[in-house]
């Protein structure tokens, strides 16, 4: 049965991947329906890195300046510090022309959504709960049924995009399997007042009980502390004085700095990758398709890269008035799956090393880092780091 098309693209989820895709597709003068189940976008402390391959995309979409205006902080170096002996490693992060920017996750989501809506091509329904996909025949998806405050609705489009997170209803309904690996560690995210002698850098404080990552804010620093899995209740209920003592023991630079615990969150970590990304008429991107350990800072990077790659494939086809996207989705699935699989694996390997705790592993990691700190080693590793951050 044929239905009037309500949009050219329906996107389920207005997070990083969904709003990013809306920004990318709006360039093709398409009608985009964006469904978001949350009444308000998130405020917890999660990934905040806009790596160079992502800022290159934002510039291509014409919205990079909006992130700078929102307060994004540039970083150019990575530093590793021993908890007692100070800095033991420093290396540049950049090789190309695109900047590495840091902005709180909630502000990235907010800015992406604002820029998508500013195009005039995006219709946002919020809150809206996706109920089920609508099949146009036995093999293809033709639309979606959703519920908002006015009731239940059916909408139709050539493509439904699931950007609805790691518990994706779209992934489930197109029958895509995903294997999950649960890590034995987690990250506790919060903020602290910015120390006067902290310089903008990806700064890792090494400690036998687990490292602490510091990232810049205008007047604060974002703090990500390695903790044990399933320890959320302990850390979130810990009194400020005890938490401060633990943080300062791992990251002495935070001594005397007040903590800001609003939005603090213990981030459970899972590695997963869907076996495939699409069924005729529907496709998944971002966390709906893959989750990765954040140690390498690639989760949000992969979500935005998915958005850019998918828009490049389906945007021109839809703009030409075509509604059959089989070839475009095949190309997207083949190319992006391989790219993402490589990133999932490399992030996993790095995470396993970083998460090793105890005196033995601390000494081993410290020794290895000191060997890498000589100028020759830094020059040899710089292209590797740049490739990881700048390649699609």
Question: How much is the pLDDT for 375?
Answer: 78
Question: How much is the pLDDT for 263?
Answer: 86
Question: How much is the pLDDT for 218?
Answer: 80
Neighbours of 238 (CB within 10 A): 16
Question: How much is the pLDDT for 96?
Answer: 72
What domains sit in the chain, N to C, each tagged with a CATH number? 9-48+104-177+275-353 (3.50.50.60), 183-269+356-390 (3.30.9.10)
The token duo for 216 is: 């810049």
Cα distances (angstroms) measured from residue 20 to each of 48, 65, 139, 242, 347 = 15, 15, 28, 40, 22
Spell out the residues 6+ positions from residue 24 whose beta carbon is closer than 8 angstroms to its own: 57, 61, 307, 308, 310, 311, 312, 315
Question: How much is the pLDDT for 5?
Answer: 83
Cα distances (angstroms) measured from residue 199 to each of 83, 145, 253, 255, 366 = 17, 50, 11, 16, 22
**pTM of the full structure:** 0.92
User: Are 360 and 368 spatial neighbours (Cβ–Cβ below 8 Å)?
Assistant: no
Question: How much is the pLDDT for 383?
Answer: 62
User: Are 282 and 162 spatial neighbours (Cβ–Cβ below 8 Å)?
Assistant: yes
Q: Which residues in the chain show pLDDT less than 50?
A: none
Question: How much is the pLDDT for 387?
Answer: 57
Question: How much is the pLDDT for 386?
Answer: 59
Kindly tell me the burial class for residue 203, based on how many C-beta atoms sit within 10 Å of its own C-beta (0-12, 13-18, 19 or more): buried
Question: How much is the pLDDT for 43?
Answer: 61
Question: How much is the pLDDT for 74?
Answer: 92
Question: How much is the pLDDT for 331?
Answer: 97
């Amino acid at each position: 049965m044929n239905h009037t098309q309500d949009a050219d693209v329906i996107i389920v989820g207005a997070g990083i991947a969904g709003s990013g895709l809306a920004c990318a597709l709006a360039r093709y003068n398409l009608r985009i329906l964006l469904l978001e189940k949350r009444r308000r976008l998130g405020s917890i402390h999660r990934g905040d890195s806009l790596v160079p391959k992502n800022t290159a995309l934002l510039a291509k979409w014409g919205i990079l300046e909006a992130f700078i205006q929102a307060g994004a902080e540039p970083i150019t170096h990575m530093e590793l510090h021993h908890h007692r002996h100070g800095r033991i490693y420093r290396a540049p992060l950049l090789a190309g022309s695109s900047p590495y920017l840091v902005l709180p996750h909630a502000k990235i989501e907010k800015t992406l959504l604002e820029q998508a809506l500013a195009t005039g091509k995006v219709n946002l329904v919020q809150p809206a709960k996706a109920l089920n996909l609508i099949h146009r025949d036995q093999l293809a998806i033709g639309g979606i049924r959703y519920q908002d405050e006015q009731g239940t609705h059916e909408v139709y489009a050539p493509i439904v995009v699931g950007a609805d997170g790691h518990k994706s209803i779209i992934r489930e309904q197109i029958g895509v399997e995903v294997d999950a690996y649960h890590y034995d560690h987690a990250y506790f995210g919060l903020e602290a007042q910015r120390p006067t002698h902290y310089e903008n850098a990806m700064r890792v404080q090494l400690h036998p009980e687990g490292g602490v990552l510091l990232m810049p804010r205008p007047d604060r620093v974002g703090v990500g502390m390695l903790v044990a899995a399933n320890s959320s209740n302990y850390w979130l209920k810990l009194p400020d004085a005890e938490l401060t003592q633990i943080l300062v023991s791992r990251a002495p630079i935070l001594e005397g700095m007040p903590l800001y615990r609003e939005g603090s969150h213990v981030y459970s970590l899972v590695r997963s990758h869907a076996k495939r990304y699409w069924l005729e008429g529907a496709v998944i991107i971002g966390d709906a398709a893959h989750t990765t350990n954040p140690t390498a800072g690639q989760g949000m990077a992969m979500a935005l890269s998915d958005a850019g790659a998918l828009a490049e494939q389906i945007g021109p086809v839809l703009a030409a008035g075509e509604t059959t996207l089989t070839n475009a989705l095949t190309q997207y699935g083949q190319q992006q799956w391989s790219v993402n699989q490589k990133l999932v694996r490399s992030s996993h390997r790095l995470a396993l090393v970083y998460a090793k705790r105890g005196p033995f592993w601390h000494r081993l990691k410290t020794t290895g880092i000191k060997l890498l700190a000589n100028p020759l080693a830094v020059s040899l590793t710089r292209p590797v780091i740049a490739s990881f951050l700048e390649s699609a």
